[in-house]
Amino acid sequence: MFLSQREREKKRGEKMKRFQGKVAIVTASTQGIGFGIAQRLGLEGASVVISSRKQKNVDEAVEKLRTQGIEVIGVVCHVSNPQQRKNLIDKTVQKYGHIDVVVSNAAANPSVDNILDTQESVLDKLWDINVKTSILLLQSASPYLHKGSSVVFISSIGAYQPQASMGMYGVTKTALLGLTKALATEMAPNTRVNCVAPGFVPTHFADFITRNEDVRKSIEERTLLKRLGTTEDMAAATAFLASDDASYITGETVVVAGGIPSRL
Ligand code: NAP
């Protein structure tokens, strides 16, 4: 019997309810990988707090998730805006009382310049959005994280081998691997901290790479599984790490890149 994508997601969610009674914040979650993660956690029973910069995108994403029976609220939050970050945590705690899962997914890639040609303002923006705001968000969230809670950072396969033209972006993603280790130590034993390093997923973010058919084919060839990743692939790995199925895993990064080489 043929099942649509949504029916498959719904069936999977019905089977596994690992987040029943749990509250999950996912940043940058009105489309792409973040939306996929919010959807997966929600279908598995989480109350989900989604967010991004634009109210319209937040409203549309909330609507899509509610039609799937997911308990969700949406909050506008540009991760670089301190007031909006505070509001994201405040609204979550007002509505649900506590936080079990934080998925830090926001990133920017504002330049294709070589690192040595990158303007200081761009270097600042990359550090700010891709690394610093993840730390600041967790500083605000940590008083509400209790025993058994979990943090997942979204890094990139580029963390292991920064790509030409995305060099500094890759370096910020490398920093998240270190941040995962450092915070896993700092937040243990109550909170586990892990990371997902996606390969190439044809989202808006990666459009400048994956829309070119020749480039897309060459990436598919570089994978062992001969395809690009999907938002569902990334959501599945994130949900595993955030769930009690991973209750003895902390400080680790899972590469979800179809076998593109990362490290031994
Ligand atoms: P995407 O499809 O372009 O989605 C980006 C989402 O982030 C949107 O909901 C957008 O909504 C929101 N957003 C953008 N800037 C934001 C900000 N400053 N603050 C809050 N929200 C913001 O991107 P994606 O491909 O899913 O990427 C998600 C994560 O995966 C990123 O960390 C990226 O580095 C990582 N990643 C992606 C790939 C890939 O191939 N796609 C590979 C490796 C790693 P608004 O416009 O409303 O803000």
105 Cβ closer than 6 Å to some ligand 1 atom: yes
Please report whether residue 2 resides in a domain. Answer: no
List, in order, residues 6 or more apart from 15 with CB less than 8 Å away: none
Average pLDDT for residues 186-202, to the nearest whole number? 98
Q: What per-residue confidence (pLDDT) applies to 99?
A: 98
Query: How many whole angstroms from 252 Cα to the centroid of ligand 1?
Result: 22
Domain count, the chain: 1
Pairwise pLDDT comparison (29 vs 207), residue with the higher score:
29
Identify whether the C-beta of residue 196 lies closer than 8 Å to the C-beta of residue 254: yes
Please report whether residue 225 resides in a domain. Answer: yes
Supply the pTM of this predicted model: 0.95
Integer Cα distance of 228 and 3 in angstroms: 21
172 Cβ closer than 6 Å to some ligand 1 atom: no
Average pLDDT for residues 219-241, to the nearest whole number? 98
For residue 121, give the amino acid letter.
S
Please report whether residue 9 resides in a domain. Answer: no
In the predicted structure, residue 81 carries a pLDDT above the cut 90: yes
81 Cβ closer than 6 Å to some ligand 1 atom: no
Integer Cα distance of 186 and 67 in angstroms: 39
Residue 169 bears catalytic tag: yes
31 Cβ closer than 6 Å to some ligand 1 atom: yes
pLDDT band at 16 (very low <50, low <70, confident <90, very high): confident
Pocket test for ligand 1, best of 35, 37, 52 (most atoms within 8 A of CB): 52
Query: How many whole angstroms from 205 Cα to the centroid of ligand 1?
Result: 6
pLDDT band at 264 (very low <50, low <70, confident <90, very high): confident
Q: State the chain's mean pLDDT as an integer.
A: 95
Average pLDDT for residues 61-69, to the nearest whole number? 98
Please report whether residue 6 resides in a domain. Answer: no
Percent of the chain with pLDDT strictly greater than 70: 94
Q: Compute CA distances 52 → 57, 123, 172, whole Å.
A: 7, 22, 20
Question: What is the domain range of residue 109?
Answer: 19-256
Please report whether residue 14 resides in a domain. Answer: no
Q: Which helix (H) or strand (E) holds 191?
A: strand 191-198
What is the atom index within ligand 1 of the atom nearest the CA of 77?
20
pLDDT tens-place string over residues 120-171: 999 999 999 999 999 999 999 999 998 999 999 999 999 999 988 899 999 9
What is the atom index within ligand 1 of the atom nearest the CA of 78?
19
Integer Cα distance of 152 and 215 in angstroms: 30
In the predicted structure, residue 12 carries a pLDDT above the cut 70: no
Q: For 7, what's the count of Cα atoms within 13 Å in the CB-facing half-sphere?
A: 4
In the predicted structure, residue 1 carries a pLDDT above the cut 90: no
54 Cβ closer than 6 Å to some ligand 1 atom: yes
Integer Cα distance of 110 and 21 in angstroms: 38
CATH number, domain with residue 43: 3.40.50.720
Residue closest by Cα to atom 9 of ligand 1: 30
Sign of torsion, CA 23 29 30 32?
negative
Any idea what the Cα angle at residue 169 is, between residues 109 and 197, rounded to 5°? 105
Residue closest by Cα to atom 33 of ligand 1: 107
42 Cβ closer than 6 Å to some ligand 1 atom: no
Please report whether residue 36 resides in a domain. Answer: yes
111 Cβ closer than 6 Å to some ligand 1 atom: no
What is the atom index within ligand 1 of the atom nearest the CA of 52?
21
Please report whether residue 92 resides in a domain. Answer: yes
Please report whether residue 139 resides in a domain. Answer: yes
For residue 127, give the amino acid letter.
W
